[in-house]
């Protein structure tokens, strides 16, 4: 190859522009990004470091462009909200109302609490005046506005995150004082933590005679939400959504947290936000609820959200009042889009409908060809670790019982000494559910199951989201894999699952066929159609296929723990008494097959 071409790249650049600069097709760039573990569509911004890797991968000598030139070029481009805020002129940034979402276990009172808050102090007075539900509303507390998202539950929250939108600034975790911390409470806490969003606990149903706040506080401390009166820093506010008590304290707590966090936006800056919900109304057309996150949205603006776009023909606030403009953190319902966007889509504003159409066409074309769900397999992460691109391994751990969950979590945390950090985002007992997959997808995590299975719906979602589920029934295999991933030694593509072990008790010679090992199955089961490894003194002596498996005199498919059997292997007959035979399956990663764990 000749001399390298040199190129200057900006602080951040869209995939499309990067392709143009590199004189490559967007597909080439996207492929190069993918091989470096970055999933991006044609309109997405990548930062300088990422762009530089792609450029040098395509044979360029790269340098960073001067800041001033770049700012002009990037104006009006589709971008991630946080990146936009980062690039805003800091002197124009102002505080904006916090966006709050309510999460918690079913029946702990999320909906009732949202109603209670709505009626306590509707911004602008007239309590109970809201007839419309647009998916979000605002209340005023001592002169501070607070925006509440009206879809409780972490599925919506995490779906937004999975699509790249930051759902909320603050999470209110509702815990019923009589029921305490439940599985979904833990899950919701894990989702909020993964999103690095501060949590305030609303201890609800405090009016109930069986309320036990002290017990619940201890439970909260156990899941790392240590209440302030236990020397922790989690605010726990007793409320009764039903009797509407404590609501003011809760709003006060929100204001306090909002003040201590920098929740900023530039009302004059690039217009951008998220789709909260959208529906097709027979009479009015597409009605979309948008949450403005930066800039000020105006009547007549041309909005692009996913593959939907259009000029805003009418705009209403959450009370249904027509408005002409909406600044940061304001939820609005707009009419004029040509299609129904998905909740969680990021929206931007472009100069003309022509621009909007071009942008949508381009992203449709790009996604039709190359869109793949982001892959988060242990192998990918291992590759990123090896390439120095990943500094942490995010895990979600599910196990059958608390007794096995705890040692797994503790041991994994013990492995946390190296340069790569293990983050356990969520660990609980029970099968792997859709919610786990959503969390994994949004956080680039891997789901590890010990003696559990994955629900059918979870498997399906994992497939479309490209999330890796790894199931184990033997604890040290689990540790081995994680350790291998951390050290960058994990064999790609195939995953081994040990299903059982047997001890060789005696050896029988049966002439031409060679030796048969008389064995007792000590753990799990051994299978005729599985692979077999012969271990001696901790070393592998042979690996291969089973020639015959007999129980008593019969040929059998499997023999379970505690039973005796005769095993003959293909191409191996040098068994010795005391050898361990390990029965294992090998399967392609990502393809979950039914097996012992079903
Ligand atoms: P969600 O599933 O978390 O949205 O829970 P809901 O808001 O639907 O509430 C579940 C049940 O708990 C309903 O029957 C409510 O009336 C009741 N509930 C909610 N808040 C309170 C409360 O503060 N006190 C009492 N006693 N009951 C409540």
Domain extents for the chain?
5-64, 97-262, 272-368, 378-491, 497-588
| CATH fit for domain 497-588, picks 3.40.50.2300, 2.40.30.10, 3.40.50.620, 2.40.50.140 | 2.40.30.10
Given this model, what pLDDT does residue 313 score? 95
Gap between the Cα atoms of 309 and 349, Å rounded: 9
Residues 578-586 have a mean pLDDT of 89
Given pLDDT bands bounded at 50, 70 and 90, which one contains residue 81?
low
- Spacing, Cα 112 to ligand 1 middle (Å): 6
Q: What atom of ligand 1 comes closest to residue 239's alpha carbon?
A: 23
pLDDT digits (tens, 9 = 90+) for 217-229: 999 999 999 999 9
Gap between the Cα atoms of 261 and 100, Å rounded: 13
Q: Which of 586, 482, 485, 444 has its CA nearest to residue 38?
A: 444
Angle (CA) 226 230 233, round 5° = 45
Given pLDDT bands bounded at 50, 70 and 90, which one contains residue 30?
confident
- Spacing, Cα 458 to ligand 1 middle (Å): 28
When mean pLDDT is compared over 43-52, 63-72, 108-117, 534-543, the highest value belongs to: 108-117
- Spacing, Cα 109 to ligand 1 middle (Å): 4
Count of C-beta atoms within a 10 Å radius of residue 192: 24
Q: What atom of ligand 1 comes closest to residue 174's alpha carbon?
A: 3
pTM score, two decimals?
0.58
Tell the residue number behind the tokens 């948008």, with chain if given: 290
* Closest CA to ligand 1's atom 17: 109
- Spacing, Cα 351 to ligand 1 middle (Å): 47
Q: Which of 361, 308, 362 has its CA nearest to residue 335?
A: 308
Name, in order, each residue with C-beta under 8 angstroms of 407's C-beta and a sequence gap of 6 or more.
475
pLDDT digits (tens, 9 = 90+) for 392-403: 788 899 988 877
Looking at the predicted structure, is the pLDDT value of residue 131 above 90? Answer: no
Given this model, what pLDDT does residue 108 score? 93
Given pLDDT bands bounded at 50, 70 and 90, which one contains residue 119?
confident
Q: Do domains 272-368 and 378-491 have the same CATH topology?
A: no
Q: How far is CA 301 from the centre of its chain?
A: 32
* 115, 176, 179, 241: residue to mutate for ligand 1 pocket, most atoms within 8 A of CB: 241
Share of the chain above pLDDT 90, in %: 34
Name, in order, each residue with C-beta under 8 angstroms of 369's C-beta and a sequence gap of 6 or more.
27
Gap between the Cα atoms of 225 and 230, Å rounded: 10
51 to 15, 143, 367, 369: CA distances (angstroms): 8, 44, 20, 21
When mean pLDDT is compared over 38-42, 73-77, 122-126, the highest value belongs to: 38-42
pLDDT digits (tens, 9 = 90+) for 4-28: 788 888 766 778 888 888 888 877 7
Name every protein residue with a CB atom under 6 angstroms from any ligand 1 atom.
104, 106-112, 152, 204-205, 207-208, 240-242
* 107, 113, 182: residue to mutate for ligand 1 pocket, most atoms within 8 A of CB: 107
- Spacing, Cα 391 to ligand 1 middle (Å): 42
Count of C-beta atoms within a 10 Å radius of residue 355: 15
Gap between the Cα atoms of 236 and 234, Å rounded: 6
Question: What would be the CATH architecture of the domain defined by 378-491?
Answer: 3-Layer(aba) Sandwich (3.40)
- Spacing, Cα 130 to ligand 1 middle (Å): 21
Name, in order, each residue with C-beta under 8 angstroms of 526's C-beta and a sequence gap of 6 or more.
499, 500, 501, 502, 519, 532, 549, 558, 559, 565, 567, 581, 583
Looking at the predicted structure, is the pLDDT value of residue 301 above 80? Answer: yes
- Spacing, Cα 113 to ligand 1 middle (Å): 8
Q: How many helices (H) and strands (E) are present in the chain, helices listed first? A: 16, 33
Gap between the Cα atoms of 223 and 240, Å rounded: 23
- Spacing, Cα 99 to ligand 1 middle (Å): 23
**Residue 477 backbone phi and psi in degrees, to 5:** -65, -40
For helices 378-386 and 475-487, the axis angle rounded to 10 degrees is 30
By mean pLDDT, which of 131-140, 177-186, 200-209, 331-340 is the weakest? 131-140
Q: What atom of ligand 1 comes closest to residue 204's alpha carbon?
A: 23
Given this model, what pLDDT does residue 65 score? 66
| CATH fit for domain 272-368, picks 3.40.50.1820, 3.40.190.10, 2.40.33.10, 2.40.30.10 | 2.40.30.10
Given this model, what pLDDT does residue 146 score? 95
Share of the chain above pLDDT 70, in %: 80
Alpha helices in 67-173 (DSSP H): 67-74, 81-87, 110-120, 154-162
* Closest CA to ligand 1's atom 2: 107
Q: Which of 449, 442, 534, 461 has its CA nearest to residue 497?
A: 449
Q: Can you tell me whether residue 143 is helix, strand or coil? A: coil
* Closest CA to ligand 1's atom 24: 205
Q: Which of 412, 549, 564 has its CA nearest to residue 486?
A: 412
* Closest CA to ligand 1's atom 10: 107
For helices 434-443 and 154-162, the axis angle rounded to 10 degrees is 40
Residues 231-253 have a mean pLDDT of 95
Q: What atom of ligand 1 comes closest to residue 106's alpha carbon?
A: 2
Q: What atom of ligand 1 comes closest to residue 112's alpha carbon?
A: 7
Given pLDDT bands bounded at 50, 70 and 90, which one contains residue 431?
confident
What CATH topology corresponds to 97-262? Answer: Rossmann fold (3.40.50)
Gap between the Cα atoms of 548 and 516, Å rounded: 9
Given this model, what pLDDT does residue 430 score? 86
Gap between the Cα atoms of 471 and 595, Å rounded: 10
Tell me if 12 sits within 8 A of 69, measured CB to CB.
no
Q: Can you tell me whether residue 320 is helix, strand or coil? A: coil
- Spacing, Cα 97 to ligand 1 middle (Å): 27
Looking at the predicted structure, is the pLDDT value of residue 238 above 70? Answer: yes
Count of C-beta atoms within a 10 Å radius of residue 482: 22
Q: What atom of ligand 1 comes closest to residue 243's alpha carbon?
A: 23
Structure tokens at 397: 């751990």
Looking at the predicted structure, is the pLDDT value of residue 178 above 80? Answer: yes
- Spacing, Cα 343 to ligand 1 middle (Å): 26
By mean pLDDT, which of 239-248, 276-285, 366-375, 411-420 is the weakest? 366-375
Residues 33-37 have a mean pLDDT of 75
* Mean pLDDT over each residue of the chain, to the nearest integer: 81
Parallel, antiparallel, or unpaired: how do β-strands 392-399 and 445-450 relate?
parallel
* Closest CA to ligand 1's atom 6: 109
Alpha helices in 423-550 (DSSP H): 434-443, 456-465, 475-487
Helix (H) or strand (E) holding 359: helix 353-370
| 25-36 b/e (C-beta count within 10 Å ≥ 16 → b) | ebeebbebbbee
Residues 586-592 have a mean pLDDT of 50
Q: What atom of ligand 1 comes closest to residue 108's alpha carbon?
A: 3
Structure tokens at 585: 């399956």
């Amino acid at each position: 190859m000749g001399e390298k071409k040199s190129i200057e790249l900006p602080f951040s650049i869209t995939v499309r522009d990067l392709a143009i600069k590199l004189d490559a097709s967007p597909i080439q760039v996207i492929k190069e990004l993918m091989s470096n573990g970055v999933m991006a569509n044609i309109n997405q911004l990548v930062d300088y470091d990422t762009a530089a890797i792609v450029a040098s991968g395509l044979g360029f000598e790269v340098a960073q462009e001067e800041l001033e030139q770049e700012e002009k070029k990037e104006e009006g481009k589709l971008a991630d909200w946080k990146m936009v805020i980062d690039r805003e002129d800091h002197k124009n940034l102002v505080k904006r109302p916090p966006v709050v979402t309510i999460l918690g276990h079913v029946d702990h009172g999320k909906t009732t609490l949202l109603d209670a808050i709505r009626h306590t102090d509707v911004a602008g007075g007239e309590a109970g005046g809201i007839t419309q539900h647009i998916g979000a509303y605002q209340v005023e507390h001592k002169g501070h506005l607070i925006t509440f998202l009206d879809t409780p539950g972490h599925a919506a929250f995490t779906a937004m995150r999975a699509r790249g939108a930051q759902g909320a600034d603050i999470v209110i975790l509702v815990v019923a004082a009589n029921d305490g911390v439940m599985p979904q409470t833990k899950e919701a806490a894990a989702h909020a933590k993964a999103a690095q969003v501060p949590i305030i606990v609303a201890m609800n149903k405090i009016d109930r005679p069986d309320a036990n706040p002290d017990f619940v506080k201890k439970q909260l401390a156990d899941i790392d939400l240590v209440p302030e009166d236990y020397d922790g820093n989690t605010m726990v506010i007793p409320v009764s959504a039903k009797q509407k008590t404590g609501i003011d304290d809760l709003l006060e707590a929100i204001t306090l947290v909002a003040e201590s966090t920098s929740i900023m936006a530039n009302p004059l800056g690039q217009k951008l936000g998220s789709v909260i919900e959208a529906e097709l109304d027979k009479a009015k057309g597409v009605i979309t609820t948008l949450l403005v996150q930066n800039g000020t949205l105006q009547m007549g603006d041309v909005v692009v959200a996913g593959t939907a776009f259009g000029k805003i023909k009418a705009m209403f606030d959450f009370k249904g009042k027509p408005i002409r403009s909406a600044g940061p953190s304001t939820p609005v319902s707009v009419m004029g889009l040509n299609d129904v966007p998905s909740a969680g889509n990021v929206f931007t504003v472009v100069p003309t409908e022509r621009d909007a159409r071009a942008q949508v066409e381009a992203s449709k074309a790009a996604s039709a060809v190359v869109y793949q769900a982001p892959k988060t397999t242990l192998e990918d992460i291992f590759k990123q670790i090896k390439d120095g691109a990943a500094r942490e391994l995010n895990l979600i751990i599910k196990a059958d019982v608390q007794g096995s969950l705890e040692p797994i979590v503790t041991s994994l945390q013990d492995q946390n000494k190296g340069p790569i950090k293990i983050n356990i985002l969520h660990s609980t007992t029970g099968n792997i559910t859709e919610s786990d997959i959503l969390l994994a997808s949004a956080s680039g995590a891997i789901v590890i199951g010990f003696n559990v299975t994955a629900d059918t719906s979870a498997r399906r979602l994992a497939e479309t989201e490209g999330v890796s589920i790894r199931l184990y029934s033997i604890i040290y295999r689990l540790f081995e894999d994680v350790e291998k991933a951390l050290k960058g030694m994990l064999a790609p593509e195939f995953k081994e699952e040990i299903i059982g072990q047997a001890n060789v008790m005696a050896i029988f010679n049966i002439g031409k066929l060679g030796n048969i090992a008389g064995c007792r199955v000590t753990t799990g089961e051994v299978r005729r159609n599985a692979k077999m490894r012969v271990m001696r003194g901790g070393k592998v002596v042979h690996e291969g296929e089973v020639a015959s498996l007999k129980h008593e005199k019969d040929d059998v498919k499997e023999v379970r723990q505690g039973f005796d059997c005769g095993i003959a292997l293909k191409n191996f007959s040098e068994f010795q008494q005391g050898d361990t035979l390990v029965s294992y399956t090998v399967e392609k990663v990502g393809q979950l097959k039914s097996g012992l764990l079903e």
